Amino acid sequence: MIEGGLKKNSITLVSGGCGAGKSIFCMNYIYAGAMAGENGLYVTFEETAHELKDNMSSFGWDLDGLEQEGKIKIVRIPREDILRIVKDEYSEIKDYLDEVKAKRVVIDSISGIEQGIANEVERRDAVLKLCEWLKEHECTTLITSEAEQEPLAYSRHETVEFLVDGVIILYNIRHGNKRLKALEVLKMRGTKHTLGLFPIRISKGIEVFQNAEIF
Ligand SMILES: Nc1ncnc2c1ncn2[C@@H]1O[C@H](COP(=O)(O)OP(=O)(O)OP(=O)(O)O)[C@@H](O)[C@H]1O
Ligand SMILES: [Mg+2]
């Protein structure tokens, strides 16, 4: 769908409504990376590491084992620490990055950072700085963002989607008395990506059915 994979050093926004599968998609990315020899750092501003692992325990991913082997690290940053971390230019996250020698990074979610900063200019600046910082540190990143179930805007403040290299949208579409989960690659700079929505299934992580029609 994206000509073989995410570009090294790129940032991709994973946007969607509640329960659309953003966190699962991102953990699947970290897990697959660890299995392929690319270490990963998952930074969460939402659920605790324990809750994340517990919610994904049915997928058969040995996240605890990978963490013990030093291949992945899952870190939760409480909301009250966000301003301090932004002011310190993300030095705490840099320590975690170095500790695990991460090539893949997940920030879940950007809304968590945005909500911690009331001033609009400061908020935009923090998001911009985070994107610059991630590029400097040579990691390939997924950033989640909360949106509607069938979004027309892809982040709360409609900024970050223009700063990043790619946007993937996860949908929870109501169709009659059912809801269907789907995935769309909306933007992927430098890539001849698929156009349109494709059904997804959450069972052992996320599976995309690239040859199926959503309706
Ligand atoms: N074992 C499973 N089998 C099938 N579907 C599952 C399973 N576990 C979770 N799901 C689906 O995935 C959803 C949760 O996914 P996830 O936590 O990734 O969502 P999210 O987009 O991160 O949501 P939020 O915005 O609330 O953080 C559940 O609401 C459910 O629909
Ligand atoms: Mg989530």
3-state DSSP of 45-68: CCCCHHHHHHHCHHHCCCHHHHHH
CATH code: domain of residue 113: 3.40.50.300
In sign, the C-alpha dihedral spanning 209, 3, 110, 161 is negative
Q: Please name the amino acid found at residue 115.
A: Q
Can you give the pLDDT at residue 149?
84
Give the residue-averaged pLDDT of 69-95: 92
Span of 45-49, 79-83, 98-102, 164-168 with lowest mean pLDDT: 79-83
Residue 23 structural domain: 11-168
Task: Pick from 13, 14, 24 the residue to mutate for probing ligand 1's pocket: most ligand atoms within 8 Å of its CB.
Answer: 24
Count of the separate structural domains present in the chain: 1
Q: Could you read off the pLDDT of 110-121 as tens digits, one per residue?
A: 988 888 788 888
In a domain, 194, yes or no: no
Q: Ligand 1 center to residue 89 CA distance, Å?
A: 31
Question: Residue 75: what pLDDT?
Answer: 97
For residue 77, how many other CB atoms are within 10 A of its CB?
A: 20
Ligand 2 ion: nearby residues, β-carbon < 5 Å: 22-23
Helices (H), the chain: 22-35, 49-55, 63-68, 82-87, 91-100, 110-115, 120-136, 160-163
Handedness of CA 72, 167, 88, 113 (dihedral sign): negative
203 in a structural domain? no
Residues 6+ apart with CB under 8 A from 26: 14, 42, 106, 108, 142, 144
Q: 96 lies in a domain?
A: yes
CA 103 to CA 213: how far, in whole Å? Answer: 34
pLDDT digits (tens, 9 = 90+) for 138-150: 999 999 999 988 8
Is 164:143 a contact under the CB 8 Å cutoff?
yes
Closest CA to 44 of 89, 20, 78: 78
- Please name every residue paired with 199 in a beta bridge, in sequence order, or none if there are none: 182
Identify whether 209 is part of a domain. Answer: no
Whether residue 189 lies inside any domain: the answer is no
**pLDDT, mean over the chain:** 93
Confidence of residue 66 (pLDDT cuts 50, 70, 90): very high
pLDDT band at 153 (very low <50, low <70, confident <90, very high): confident
Going from the Cα of 23 to the center of ligand 2, the distance in angstroms, rounded, reads: 4
- Residue at 206 is within a domain: no
* Residue 138 included in any domain: yes
**Ligand 1, atom 18: nearest CA belongs to which residue?**
21
**Are the CB atoms for 158 and 124 separated by under 8 Å?**
no
207 domain residue, yes or no: no
